[in-house]
Amino acid sequence: MSRMAGPQVHVMNQQVQREQGRKAQISNITAGKAVADIIRTTLGPRSMLKMILDPMGGIVMTNDGNSILREIDVSHPAAKSMIELSRAQDEEVGDGTTSVIILAGEYLSLAEPLLNRQLHPTVINNGYLKALDDMVVWLDELAIPLDLSDEDRLTKLVESSTGTKFSARFGNVVTLALEAVRTVVIEENGRKEIDIKRYAKVEKIPGGDIDDCRVLKGCMLNKDVTHPKMRRHIKNPRVLLLDCTLEYKKGESATSIEITDEKAWAELLEQEEIAIREMCDEVIALSPDIVITEKGVSDLAQHFLQKANISVLRRVRKTDNNRIARATGATICHRPAEASESHIGTECGLFEITKIGDEYFSWFVDCANPKACSIVLRGASKDVLNELERNLADAMSCVRTIWMDPRLVPGGGATEMALAHKVFEASKRQEPMIAGAYRAAGAALEVIPRTLLENCGADIIRVQTALRAKHAQGIGAGKTAADCAEITEAVVPTGGEPVGAAAGTGTGTGTGTGGAKPDVSMWGIDGNTGKMADMVELGIWEPVTVKAQTLKTAIESASMLLRIDEIVSGTHKKQPERRAAAAPPQGDEGGE
């Protein structure tokens, strides 16, 4: 005992803040719920906008979950982790950035009563992850294959994604997204490559009308020719792309030349002119109409090229050069001496330079087979254009996702309610220890239809209870994807009008007059009216990849936060103190 009564030993710095055990878990849950509450009102077609003033004085007006959370400065580590979920969801599939935060917050919220019942966080995680595995399997069963040539279904799918956005009242965004993705898609050896980030560039030009937005069959640059006498309108131009300078070679470090007489100075200038003339002759030999380089072009080179009737664009960004190469069929050349006929791009139909406002723009349009494009956005102000760009990025990501995995599930909370019902039923067959957490994983899914009802001011309890009862009828239980496809075809045939004999009486009671009964797993919430509706009739669909990614991200992140039992902050010195300590020596040097 005498050994145990020694002095207390402090292992950690006493300046740090520590939260341990239950206190740390409750702190994380509270932070998660707070972040979810921030963007809960931005879900659905009746969503509200958020206006955020950034540190530079700019204004962001949006209802996109990722854009809102990206601008918010939070201090709690769990809240920062939640915000990263939205960014990961946006980069992975481009949609569902709000849903994933709301779901993760609900999973954390429902874990709190389980923790209060002295259930271990590992047991809760086991129940959540077991439910996730089952939900992914059931999601594949609910999925319906999509024919990518079905223009109407594809358009409705993108409208479901952008229907909650500012641009929903302007149907132009859906058309732009479909056209842009079709342009950049490349199929080689059965593998699809859709790089919308690199090859579908958005160009925002203030002014004009939103209806003037369009996708070019080619590219556009905010550049003018380098010489006023160069041609600004060329049909079927021959395009040469360079990533080197058309100038005399300069020394990498300071170079000094000592000249003793005037004749030597004249010879030096002549050598420079000869070097530039040789470069220009190598370019002129290929008889291009346009030369585009990523580096500079000297005045002398401009003179020689203009005399050869060649237009020149200089200091073009690397990304723009790559897009022009894909659009015109040209190959970027690294030295004029290496250029050959195979480097020339001949697929551009028209090159012209126009002035919009105070800016000059170069257009490479009417390309034969462009695999890159520019999307021109017009709008009243920069705020409108920025929001349109965010909405268009979401729409293009949605199209890219469905192109990679052409399967659909119903939207409007129908999929969540169907999965919740299946989880409730399966929880009766789980081990008693994880059954509570397993059931909570299903209950959390109901937050999506509940939030849709909240945001359109409907009678939440009555409508959600009716929807839960509808799914509990079990008409659609155990359907395979093929069965769902048959039922979908029965409810909405090719003509577009519901068939009474197959779809039932049409009263929404789920009873038919004979034949196939409609699948209740397709029933969800109409976000505009706040009433129950058949998602097949409304045409509200979501890509199965988005839904699966939302569930995986939300549950796995909630499980990770629940496993944290200690938060330690303040382990390092503050940065200003380091600067203050380092300041005197610098001052002494300056004084000397």
The string of DSSP letters for 214-253 reads EE-SSEEES---SSTTS-SEEES--EEEESS-BSPPPPSS
**Are 551 and 414 members of one domain?**
yes
pLDDT at position 242: 92
**pLDDT by residue (tens digit) across 536-565?**
888 888 888 889 999 999 999 888 888 887
pLDDT at position 487: 38
- Provide the domain limits for residue 82: 17-145+410-474+539-562
Q: Minimum mean pLDDT among 13-17, 227-231, 279-283: which range? A: 13-17
Measured distance CA(13)–CA(8) in Å, rounded = 14
**Are 237 and 300 members of one domain?**
yes
- Residue 518, pLDDT > 60, answer no
pTM, two decimals, is: 0.74
Reported as a pLDDT band with limits 50, 70 and 90, residue 7 is low
Helix or strand run (H / E) with residue 278:
helix 262-284
Q: Name the catalytic one among 42, 62, 64, 95.
A: 64
**Are 57 and 119 members of one domain?**
yes
CATH of the domain at 131: 1.10.560.10
pLDDT at position 350: 92
Reported as a pLDDT band with limits 50, 70 and 90, residue 474 is low
Identity (one letter) of the amino acid at 463? V
Reported as a pLDDT band with limits 50, 70 and 90, residue 571 is low
Mean pLDDT across 353-379: 89
Measured distance CA(376)–CA(45) in Å, rounded = 26
**pLDDT by residue (tens digit) across 71-99?**
888 888 888 888 888 888 888 887 888 88
pLDDT at position 512: 36
Answer whether residue 491 is part of any domain.
Answer: no
**pLDDT by residue (tens digit) across 420-466?**
999 988 888 888 888 889 999 989 999 998 998 888 888 888 888 88
**Are 306 and 319 members of one domain?**
yes
Answer whether residue 296 is part of any domain.
Answer: yes
User: Does residue 98 carry a catalytic annotation?
Assistant: yes
**Are 166 and 136 members of one domain?**
no
- For residue 134, give every residue at least 6 positions away whose Cβ sits within 8 Å of its Cβ, in sequence order, or none: 422, 423, 426
Q: 409, 550, 424, 404: which is closest to 134 by C-alpha?
A: 424
**Are 431 and 547 members of one domain?**
yes
**Are 447 and 392 members of one domain?**
no
Answer whether residue 358 is part of any domain.
Answer: no
Q: Name the catalytic one among 90, 320, 394, 534.
A: 394
Helix or strand run (H / E) with residue 535:
helix 535-538
Q: Minimum mean pLDDT among 16-30, 223-237, 438-452, 479-493: which range? A: 479-493
Identity (one letter) of the amino acid at 317? R
Measured distance CA(146)–CA(149) in Å, rounded = 9
Identity (one letter) of the amino acid at 395? A
**pLDDT by residue (tens digit) across 307-328?**
999 999 999 999 999 999 999 9
Measured distance CA(370)–CA(63) in Å, rounded = 33
Reported as a pLDDT band with limits 50, 70 and 90, residue 5 is low
Give bridge partners of residue 532 from the DSSP assignment: 525
Of 302, 331, 346, which one is at a domain's C-terminal end? 346
Residue 540 DSSP symbol: -
Q: Minimum mean pLDDT among 61-75, 200-214, 492-506: which range? A: 492-506
Answer whether residue 573 is part of any domain.
Answer: no
- Residue 497, pLDDT > 70, answer no
Give bridge partners of residue 345 from the DSSP assignment: 239
Answer whether residue 2 is part of any domain.
Answer: no
Q: Name the catalytic one among 42, 97, 183, 553.
A: 97
Q: Name the catalytic one among 42, 98, 245, 293.
A: 98
CATH of the domain at 162: 3.30.260.10
**Are 268 and 163 members of one domain?**
no
Total structural domains within the chain: 3
When the pLDDT of each residue in the chain is averaged and rounded to a whole number, the result is 80
Q: 98, 84, 86, 88: which is closest to 41 by C-alpha?
A: 98
Reported as a pLDDT band with limits 50, 70 and 90, residue 132 is very high
Reported as a pLDDT band with limits 50, 70 and 90, residue 353 is very high
User: Does residue 394 carry a catalytic annotation?
Assistant: yes
Residues 311, 226 contacting (CB under 8 angstroms) = no
**pLDDT by residue (tens digit) across 176-220?**
888 888 888 888 777 888 888 889 989 888 888 877 888 888 899
Answer whether residue 310 is part of any domain.
Answer: yes
Measured distance CA(61)–CA(50) in Å, rounded = 6
CATH of the domain at 324: 3.50.7.10
User: Does residue 175 carry a catalytic annotation?
Assistant: no
- Measure the N-to-C terminal CA separation of the chain; round to a whole number of Å: 64
User: Does residue 95 carry a catalytic annotation?
Assistant: no
Answer whether residue 479 is part of any domain.
Answer: no
Reported as a pLDDT band with limits 50, 70 and 90, residue 513 is very low
**Are 200 and 227 members of one domain?**
no
Reported as a pLDDT band with limits 50, 70 and 90, residue 133 is very high
User: Which structure tokens are listed for 217?
Assistant: 């069959």
Give bridge partners of residue 202 from the DSSP assignment: 375
Reported as a pLDDT band with limits 50, 70 and 90, residue 64 is confident
Reported as a pLDDT band with limits 50, 70 and 90, residue 11 is low
Mean pLDDT across 502-529: 53
High-pLDDT (> 90) share of the chain, %: 18
- 3-state DSSP call for residue 285? coil
Residues 159, 174 contacting (CB under 8 angstroms) = yes
**Are 62 and 139 members of one domain?**
yes
Answer whether residue 229 is part of any domain.
Answer: yes
**Are 40 and 182 members of one domain?**
no
**Are 387 and 454 members of one domain?**
no
Task: Indicate the Cα dihedral angle 130, 134, 137, 141, nearest 10°.
Answer: -170
| More confidently predicted of 531 and 474 | 531
Per the listing, tokens 């080197």 go with 244
Mean pLDDT across 144-164: 78
Q: 481, 317, 497, 518: which is closest to 405 by C-alpha?
A: 481
